[in-house]
C-alpha cells in the first residue's frame, strides 16, 4: 500500500470510529505551530482579558504548537459531542444553570469515549501513540477545530457549525500518525450582531470575535473565586452557573438537534427546584443534586455566593 493510500485508509477508519462512538463531527488538522493564533492569544493576554485565569498564560509554547505534546506528534483530530437540550428549569424565576451542566460532567463522559477511541485505533490501525484531551490541556481547542473545518469562530468567540450550531463540547486526539487533513471553512456570521447586542455585560467586543472574559457571566459565576464586582448587579440575567445567552440568540442554533446522551439528562429534582429552594439550598442538597456534575467546580460556597449576588 502506498503512503497516500495508507493515509486515506487510516483517515477513513478514524472517521468511522468517531461516528460509531456518537461524536457529532470530526475534522483533522496537522500538528504544527499556529502562527496567527499565537499572535492573537498574545494580544488577548496583553489586554488582561483572561482575568484571574492565570493558567491561560502557562505553557504558551504548547498552546500554540500541538506538535510539542510528545515527540513525533503529527495530527490533531478535533471532535464535537452534542449536548443540546430543549429541557428547561420548571420555575422561570429560579436562578439558571447553563444547559451544558444539566447532566453528568462532560469531561468524564467524553474522556471515557476517547480512551475507547484510542484502543480502537490500536486495534484497527496498529501501534499509534496518542493523547486524548477534553478541555484538560493547554490546547487551543476552538482554533484547532476551526483549522480542521468543523466550523468557524463566531462573533461570540464560540465555534459554530453550519449543520449543528454551537451546542457541543470539543475534544481532541493528538496522534503520531500522518493523516489526510481537512480544510478550514468560511465565516458565516455575516452582518449579524445578535450575540453582541444580547450580552448583558458587554463582554463581546462591539465588532465581535474578541471576548473580555472579565465581563463574561460564565467567568464571573465559575472561574472567578472572589466576590463578583458590584458593577454587574442587575446584569446577570439570573444566571447562577454559566450563561447561554449568546448561544440562545445565535441564528445558527436553529439547526441544533436534541442530544442522545443519556448521561447528559438532568435529574428531575434539579429541574423542579424553585427560586426559594435555591436561596435556601444546603450543602447536603448541593452534594446530592450535583454528584458527578460540572457544577461541583464552583463548589457549594461559590454557588451560594452567586445566588446571593442575584438577589442583592
Under the banding of pLDDT at 50, 70 and 90, the label for residue 312 is confident
Give the pLDDT mean for 240-245. Answer: 98
Count CB atoms within 10 A of the CB of residue 16.
13
Q: What average pLDDT does range 113-126 have in this prediction?
A: 97
Q: At 250, is the secondary structure helix, strand, or coil?
A: coil
- DSSP 8-state secondary structure symbol assigned to residue 219: I
More confident call, 137 vs 77? 77
* Residue 279: pLDDT band with limits 50, 70, 90: very high
pLDDT tens profile 201-212: 999 999 999 999
CA distance 64 to 35: 7
Active site (catalytic) residues: 135
| Contact (Cβ atoms closer than 8 angstroms) between residue 108 and residue 294 | no
Q: Which long-range contacts (CB under 8 A, 24 or more apart) does 6-10 make?
A: 7/178, 7/179, 7/180, 8/180, 10/125, 10/177, 10/179
Q: Which residue has the higher pLDDT, 1 or 221?
A: 221
Q: Residue 102 pLDDT more than 80? A: yes
**Per-residue confidence (pLDDT) for residue 105, from 0 to 100:** 97
Q: How far apart are CA 43 and CA 49, in angstroms?
A: 9
Pairing of strands 159-160, 152-153: antiparallel
Mean pLDDT of 130-155: 96
Region 47-51: mean pLDDT is 97
170 vs 137, residue with greater confidence: 170
DSSP state of 41: H
CB atoms within 10 A of CB 186: 7
Distance CA 311, CA 303 (A): 13
What mean pLDDT is reported for the chain? Answer: 96
Using the predicted structure, report yes or no on whether residue 274 has a pLDDT greater than 80: yes
Judged against a pLDDT cut of 60, whether residue 262 lies above it is answered with yes
Is the confidence at residue 5, as pLDDT, over 80? no
Over residues 289-304, mean pLDDT: 97
Is 25:257 a contact under the CB 8 Å cutoff?
Answer: no
- Residue 4 predicted with pLDDT over 70: no
Cell numbers that stand for 187 in this block: 465565516
Mean pLDDT of 43-65: 96
Give the per-residue pLDDT at 1: 57
Contact 245, 199 (CB under 8 A): yes
Burial class (CB in 10 A: 0-12, 13-18, 19+), 111: middle
pLDDT value at residue 100: 98
pLDDT at 3 over 90: no
Instruction: Say if CB 266 and CB 87 are below 8 A apart.
Output: yes
In this prediction, residue 2 carries a pLDDT of 62
Predicted model pTM: 0.95
Give the C-alpha separation, 198 to 187, whole Å. 20
Q: Which helix (H) or strand (E) holds 18?
A: helix 3-20
CA distance 168 to 25: 10
For residues 262-283, average pLDDT:
97
Amino acid at each position: 500500500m502506498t503512503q497516500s493510500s495508507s493515509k486515506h485508509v487510516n483517515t477513513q477508519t478514524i472517521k468511522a470510529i468517531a461516528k460509531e462512538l456518537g461524536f457529532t463531527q470530526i475534522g483533522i488538522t496537522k500538528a504544527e505551530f499556529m502562527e496567527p493564533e499565537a499572535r492573537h492569544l498574545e494580544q488577548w493576554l496583553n489586554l488582561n482579558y483572561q482575568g484571574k485565569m492565570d493558567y491561560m498564560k502557562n505553557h504558551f509554547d504548547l498552546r500554540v504548537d500541538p506538535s510539542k505534546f510528545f515527540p513525533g506528534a503529527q495530527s490533531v483530530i478535533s471532535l464535537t459531542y452534542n449536548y443540546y437540550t430543549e429541557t428547561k428549569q420548571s420555575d422561570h424565576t429560579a436562578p439558571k444553570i447553563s444547559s451544558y451542566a444539566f447532566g453528568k460532567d462532560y469531561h468524564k463522559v467524553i474522556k471515557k469515549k476517547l480512551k475507547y477511541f484510542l484502543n480502537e485505533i490500536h486495534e484497527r490501525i496498529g501501534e499509534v501513540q496518542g493523547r486524548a484531551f477534553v478541555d484538560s490541556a493547554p490546547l487551543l481547542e476552538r482554533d484547532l477545530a476551526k483549522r480542521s473545518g468543523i466550523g468557524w469562530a463566531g462573533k461570540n468567540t464560540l465555534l459554530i457549525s453550519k449543520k449543528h450550531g454551537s451546542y457541543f463540547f470539543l475534544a481532541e486526539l493528538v496522534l503520531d500518525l500522518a493523516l489526510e487533513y481537512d480544510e478550514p471553512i468560511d465565516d458565516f456570521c455575516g452582518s449579524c450582531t445578535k450575540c453582541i447586542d444580547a450580552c448583558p455585560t458587554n463582554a463581546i467586543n462591539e465588532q465581535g470575535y474578541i471576548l473580555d472574559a472579565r465581563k463574561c457571566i460564565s467567568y464571573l459565576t465559575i472561574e472567578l473565586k472572589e466576590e463578583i464586582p458590584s458593577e454587574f448587579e442587575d446584569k446577570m440575567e439570573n444566571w447562577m452557573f454559566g450563561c447561554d445567552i449568546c448561544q440562545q440568540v445565535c441564528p445558527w442554533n436553529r439547526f441544533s438537534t436534541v442530544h442522545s446522551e443519556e448521561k447528559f439528562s438532568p435529574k428531575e429534582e434539579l429541574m423542579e427546584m424553585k427560586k426559594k429552594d435555591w436561596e435556601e439550598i444546603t450543602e447536603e442538597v448541593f452534594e446530592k443534586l450535583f454528584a458527578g456534575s460540572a457544577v461541583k467546580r464552583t463548589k457549594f460556597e461559590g454557588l451560594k455566593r452567586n445566588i446571593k449576588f442575584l438577589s442583592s
